[in-house]
């Protein structure tokens, strides 16, 4: 059974994020920085868009709360509920941090080295996901959810363990990209790391499924 207190905390953080934006909204300039390139250049948008991001946090909180209830394998969530609830909270804290950066840079541009802070946060988030992914039990919404992984408990276990390692390494590479002198090179490293982390476990789940099918025919 999922922890009710942690579920409430998930919503509380999402609402606080929206309230934070609402409190400072009248003081914001008409256009605020919402996106940054790898070289730190800010892209400005109308200030109302901060509510779109904060509103997305509430939507994410709702979806992450509801999805386990409609998953055909919802009983498995009880086996990793603490990790799942912690993951939900980490996502909300990440979004809250992004709101804080946007507000800070709106009032005092240049205060935060945004490209470094964001990439560090993303790298740590990937490492965190990689650490908890092997704890995920078979379900249709979390982890490496290929048809082949879902077909077998053993393939699921292998896929999540490999996926966890790939995401952890990807997180390290994302953080390492901060040391690279060229923004273009850093972008290429991050893109390759994320793509590989997503692709390799999916491909291997198919390979393991084929091996399992061949062994059953013998």
Query: Which of 91, 108, 125 is the endpoint of a domain?
Result: 108
Beta bridge partners of 160: none
The three-class DSSP label of residue 116 is: helix
Residues 91 and 134 in one domain: no
Residues 3 and 83 in one domain: yes
Round the average pLDDT of the chain to a whole number and report it. Answer: 93
Is the pTM for the entire model greater than 0.85?
yes
Residues 9 and 100 in one domain: yes
Residues 210 and 131 in one domain: yes
Of the CA atoms within 13 Å of residue 23, those in its CB half-sphere come to 9
Handedness of CA 92, 94, 95, 100 (dihedral sign): positive
Residues 52 and 133 in one domain: no
Residues 8 and 104 in one domain: yes
Which run of H or of E encompasses 76?
A: none
Residues 132 and 34 in one domain: no
> 154: domain range?
113-218
What is the domain count for the chain? 2
Residues 87 and 120 in one domain: no
Q: Is the pLDDT of residue 36 over 90?
A: no
Q: Is the pLDDT of residue 39 over 90?
A: no
- Determine what percent of the chain is predicted with pLDDT higher than 90: 81
> Which DSSP string corresponds to 168-184?
HHHHHHHHHGGG-S-HH
Q: Is the pLDDT of residue 216 over 90?
A: no
């Amino acid at each position: 059974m999922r922890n009710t207190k942690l579920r409430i905390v998930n919503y509380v953080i999402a609402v606080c994020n929206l309230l934070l934006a609402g409190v400072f909204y009248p003081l914001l300039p008409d256009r605020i920085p919402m996106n940054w390139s790898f070289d730190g250049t800010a892209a400005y948008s109308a200030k109302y868009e901060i509510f779109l991001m904060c509103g997305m946090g509430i939507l994410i909180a709702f979806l992450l709360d509801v999805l386990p209830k409609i998953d055909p394998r919802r009983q498995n969530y009880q086996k990793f509920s603490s990790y799942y609830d912690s993951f939900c909270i980490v996502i909300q804290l990440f979004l809250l941090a992004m709101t804080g950066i946007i507000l800070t840079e709106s009032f005092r541009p240049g205060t935060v080295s945004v490209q470094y802070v964001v990439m560090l946060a993303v790298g740590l988030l990937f490492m965190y996901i990689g650490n908890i992914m092997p704890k995920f039990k078979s379900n249709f919404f979390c982890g490496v959810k290929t048809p082949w992984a879902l077909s077998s408990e053993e393939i699921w276990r292998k896929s999540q363990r490999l996926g966890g390692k790939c995401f952890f390494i990807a997180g390290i590479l994302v953080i390492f990209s901060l040391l690279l002198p060229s923004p273009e090179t850093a972008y290429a490293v991050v893109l390759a790391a994320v793509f590989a982390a997503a692709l390799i476990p999916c491909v291997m789940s198919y390979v393991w499924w084929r091996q399992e099918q061949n062994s059953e025919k013998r």
